[in-house]
């Protein structure tokens, strides 16, 4: 468990004058749920975009199983077993849930029809109903467009899609934001179960109790940089909020260094940040 | 390849999904309403002119008149579903007809043999598809909206056709062989033009409704960013869709030459409006993501039935334009309202 499954080192991403990521580090380990938290605009979604191949980083490295990789696009990341639930869900509203589940990797019929690209809709529907049932969602009619579903059901469709195909890492960018109590519990259950399959799960959430209850480890992002990596068992909501808002590390840089802890075993690689500058540069 | 690269989720099981009741599905189908309008029109004209309207002759006439618009409408359905539009189809049809016609003039004229006919058909299809692909490639850059790309294409294609011919419809552009078969020929009483249009409609209707290509077309119109994230090559797909539109415009050129024997350079300036009207009447959303070839079939037949019916009952057929205009605006209004309700949820 020493080597991270997926790791970001010193990732920089700018949008014009906005420095969304300013040398961000991040690591996801197999079989572990890591929560990625931070204030609005801290760069969480941007980091997810970089690690899932949607955004090309301006600087920095991405390592998959310790080897540097470059994702030319999201399909590269998907091929590597990295799946994502995007904050905007990224669903085709006019297609039904099974079509969304299989978007970009549709099942086709056997034989000649398959070669012509004819879809195997019954099989897709079967798998979809089953995948949604696991999340506690029963779709009355799996053939209605996703646009006709409730916000929570739509979110479940996006979650189901990611967990159904992930075999290395799955990013969930605020997957429970629109969910009811039951569905939220089911998603968190699923998150655990997916991690128990040996997959690295990255959960982004603004809900601190939820984070502490489901995550093994918490990484805190502030102003485009990782400011803390904490074991969930050893931390408190106050400490997390302090790290997010910056009231904790105001004192000395050494403090921040001790906050960055590896899961279970200490990390092999040096904990040195490339350039531990005070993060007051700009936002 | 029977499964996809990544395969299915690890938990394929034996749970069977229930198919929803047929009725509920039918009610949700947007083309149902347009179909009811078409049916009402047919009933009305049949009652208003008993024994005169619903004759085999009228039906054949309606179908022949609709055949070319139907072929163009099938391509336009794809384009509009991607949230695009193609204004250039009439000009592309003319350009393809002129290219094929010029070849025919210099290779036998009216008495040209089957070899020339075959080459002419290929020329028309290739010119149409190439022009469409070019426009698709520009659309795919996402720097110029489809409306402008194809407006430019409309002018350029017509200009080239006029340059090549001096603006006059040349003689001997269609071989008798072509006119006597595809143009006027029949199989079991059904004109070949109608059979061809029906075959094109069936094939591309099935492609849109049942294949991966069709699903990607809908997905791109629904959410291009999500499609890209899902690994769909959006740009390449758009090129294919616009090339298909061009290919069908080329086929329309062949059908036109076969049935009228001339290029009609000046006669296609409103093809785009007629075809877009039919597609929208058929329930395909101008905002992309929704639509069907079946709807377009209905949408093509509404104006066709109207004009024939009005003639039969002795009303000035210009009322057709008024009626279609009103129904068109109503159709888009309803589509907008549906979107609003949806986005509010
Ligand atoms: N495509 C973009 N173009 C310009 N600026 C962007 C873009 N995407 C993100 N940003 C900016 O980058 C910064 C980080 O945004 P990001 O979405 O990563 O934050 P976040 O941590 O996910 O916030 P939230 O909790 O609100 O989701 C913000 O200042 C945002 O305005
Ligand atoms: Mg975000």
Question: Tell me: the pLDDT tens digits for A74-88?
Answer: 888 998 999 999 988
The B residues from 4 to 63 touching A (CB cutoff 8 Å) are 4-6, 8-17, 20, 24-25, 28
Per-chain mean pLDDT for chain B:
85
- Res. A273 pLDDT band, cuts 50 70 90: very low
Average pLDDT over residues B92-103: 95
The average pLDDT across B336-344 equals: 65
In whole angstroms, what separates CA A81 from the centre of its chain?
Answer: 13
- pLDDT band (50, 70, 90) for residue A254: very low
Are residues B232 and B216 in contact, defined by beta-carbon separation less than 8 angstroms?
A: yes
Write down the ipTM of this complex. Answer: 0.81
Task: Say which of A104, A125, A141 has its CB closest to residue B232.
Answer: A104
Among the partner residues B9, B210, B231, nearest to A74 by beta-carbon distance: B231
Structure tokens at A228: 């803390």
Token pair of A6 as six digits: 């997926």
Q: What is the pLDDT of residues A176-186, one digit of tens each?
A: 887 888 888 88
Chain A residues within an 8 Å CB radius of B2: 108-111, 114
Going from the C-alpha of B181 to that of each of B117, B190, B252, the distances in angstroms are 11, 12, 15
* Tokens, residue A238: 């106050």
Rounded Cα distance, A247 and A69, in Å? 35
pLDDT average, residue stretch A1-18: 88
- Using the 8-state DSSP alphabet, how is residue B87 labeled? -
Closest CA relative to residue B297, chosen from B198, B165, B224: B198
10 Å CB burial of residue B280 (0-12, 13-18, 19+) is: buried
> Residue A167: which pLDDT band, with cuts at 50, 70 and 90?
confident
Q: Report the Cα–Cα distance between both ends of chain B, in Å, rounded.
A: 39
- Contact between chains at B211 and A116 (C-beta distance less than 8 A): yes
- Determine contact: A143 vs chain B, CB below 8 A: yes
Residue carrying structure tokens 């490295």 = A61
The burial class, CB within 10 Å (0-12 / 13-18 / 19+), for A273 is: middle
Which of B209, B180, B181, B177 lies closest to B196 in space, CA to CA?
A: B181
Segment B105-138, tens digit of pLDDT: 998 888 888 999 999 999 999 999 999 999 999 9
Phi then psi for B224, rounded to 5 degrees?
-60, -35
| Interchain contact A178–B (C-beta under 8 A) | no
| Nearest-angstrom CA–CA distance, B294 and B187 | 24
Q: What per-residue confidence (pLDDT) applies to B311?
A: 81
| Cβ atoms of B112 and B101 closer than 8 Å | no
Say what the pLDDT of residue B339 is: 66
Kindly report the backbone phi and psi dihedral angles of residue B86, in degrees, each rounded to the nearest multiple of 5, phi listed first.
-130, 105
pLDDT confidence of B30, banded at 50, 70, 90? low
pLDDT band for position A96 (50/70/90)?
very high
Cβ contact, residue pair B4, A117, below 8 Å = no
Mean pLDDT throughout A41-70?
Answer: 92
pLDDT in tens, B162-200: 999 988 888 888 888 888 888 888 888 889 999 999 999
Q: Please report which confidence band the pLDDT of residue B24 belongs to, taking 50, 70 and 90 as the band edges.
A: very low
**Secondary structure, 3-state, B195-237:** HHHHHHHHHHHHHHHHEHHHHHHHHHHHCHHHHHHCCCCHHHH
What pLDDT score was predicted for residue B245? 98
Q: Is A208 left (phi over 0), alpha (psi -120 to 50) or beta?
A: alpha
Most B-contacting residue of A76, A95, A97 (CB-CB within 10 A), to test interface = A95
* pLDDT in the model for residue B320: 78
Q: How far apart are CA A7 and CA A82, in angstroms?
A: 12
**pLDDT on residue B244:** 98
Does the pLDDT value for residue B20 go beyond 60?
A: no
Which one of A45, A177, A205 would you pick to mutate in the ligand 1 pocket, going by the greatest count of ligand atoms within 8 A of its CB?
Answer: A45
Question: Which of B20, B222, B289 has the CB atom closest to A143's CB atom?
Answer: B20
| pLDDT, mean of residues A111-134 | 90
Q: Which atom of ligand 1 is nearest to the CA of A224?
A: 14
pLDDT of the residue at B58: 74
Which ligand is nearest to the Cα of residue A18, counting in written order?
1
The ligand whose atoms approach the alpha carbon of A173 most closely is 2
Q: What contacts A146, CB < 8 A, 6 or more positions away?
A: A91, A92, A93, A94, A95, A96, A97, A100, A154, A157
Q: pTM score, two decimals? A: 0.84
């Amino acid at each position: 468990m020493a080597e991270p499954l997926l790791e970001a080192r010193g990732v920089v991403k700018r949008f014009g004058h906005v420095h969304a990521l300013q040398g961000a580090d991040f690591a996801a380990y197999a079989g572990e749920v890591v929560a990625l938290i931070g204030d609005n605009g801290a760069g969480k979604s941007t980091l997810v975009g970089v690690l899932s191949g949607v955004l090309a980083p301006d600087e920095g490295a991405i390592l998959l199983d310790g080897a540097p990789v470059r994702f030319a696009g999201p399909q590269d990341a998907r091929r590597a077993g990295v799946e994502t639930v995007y904050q905007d869900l990224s669903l085709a509203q006019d297609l039904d849930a099974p079509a969304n589940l299989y978007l970009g990797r549709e099942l086709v019929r056997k034989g000649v029809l398959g070669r012509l690209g004819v879809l195997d809709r019954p099989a897709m529907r079967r798998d979809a109903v089953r995948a949604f049932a696991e999340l506690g969602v029963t779709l009355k009619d799996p053939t209605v467009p996703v646009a006709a579903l409730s916000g929570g059901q739509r979110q479940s469709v996006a979650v189901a899609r990611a967990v159904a195909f992930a075999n290395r890492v799955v990013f969930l960018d605020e997957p429970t934001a629109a969910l009811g109590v039951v569905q939220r519990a089911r998603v968190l259950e699923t998150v655990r179960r997916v991690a128990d399959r040996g997959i690295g799960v990255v959960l982004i959430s603004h809900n601190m109790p939820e984070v502490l209850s489901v995550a093994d480890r918490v990484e805190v992002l502030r102003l485009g940089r990782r400011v803390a990596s904490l074991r969930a068992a050893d931390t408190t909501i106050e400490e997390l909020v302090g790290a997010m808002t910056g009231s904790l590390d105001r004192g000395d840089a050494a403090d921040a260094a001790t906050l960055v802890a590896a899961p279970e075993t200490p990390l092999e690689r040096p904990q040195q940040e490339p350039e531990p500058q005070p993060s007051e540069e700009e936002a | 390849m029977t499964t996809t690269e990544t395969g299915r989720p690890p938990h394929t099981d034996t749970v069977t999904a229930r198919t929803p009741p047929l009725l509920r599905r039918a009610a949700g189908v947007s083309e149902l309403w347009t179909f009811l309008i078409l049916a009402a029109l047919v009933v009305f004209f049949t009652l208003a002119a008993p024994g005169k309207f619903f004759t085999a002759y009228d039906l054949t006439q309606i179908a022949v008149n609709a055949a070319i618009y139907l072929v163009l409408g099938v391509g336009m359905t794809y384009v509009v579903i991607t949230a695009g539009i193609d204004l250039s189809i009439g000009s592309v049809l003319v350009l393809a007809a002129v290219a094929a016609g010029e070849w025919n003039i210099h290779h036998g004229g009216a008495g040209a043999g089957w070899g020339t006919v075959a080459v002419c058909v290929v020329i028309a299809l290739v010119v149409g598809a190439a022009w469409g692909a070019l426009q698709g490639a520009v659309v795919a850059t996402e720097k110029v909206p489809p409306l402008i790309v194809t407006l430019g294409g409309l002018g350029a294609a017509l200009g080239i056709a006029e340059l090549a011919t001096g603006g006059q419809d040349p003689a001997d552009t269609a071989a008798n062989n072509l006119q006597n078969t595809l143009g006027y020929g029949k199989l079991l009483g059904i004109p070949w033009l109608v059979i061809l249009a029906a075959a094109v409609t069936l094939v591309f209707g099935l492609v849109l409704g049942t294949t991966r290509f069709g699903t990607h077309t809908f997905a791109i119109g629904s959410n291009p960013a999500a499609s890209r994230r899902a690994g769909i090559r959006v740009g390449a797909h758009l090129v294919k869709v616009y090339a298909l539109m061009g290919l069908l415009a080329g086929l329309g050129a062949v059908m036109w030459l076969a049935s009228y024997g001339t290029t009609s350079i000046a006669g296609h300036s409103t093809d785009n409006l007629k075809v877009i009207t039919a597609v929208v009447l058929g329930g395909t959303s101008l905002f992309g993501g929704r639509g069907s070839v079946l709807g377009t079939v209905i949408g093509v037949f509404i104006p066709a039935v109207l004009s024939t019916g009005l003639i039969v009952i002795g009303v000035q057929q210009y009322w057709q334009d008024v009626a279609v205009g009103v129904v068109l605006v109503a159709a888009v209004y309803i589509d907008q309202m549906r979107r609003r309700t949806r986005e509010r949820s």
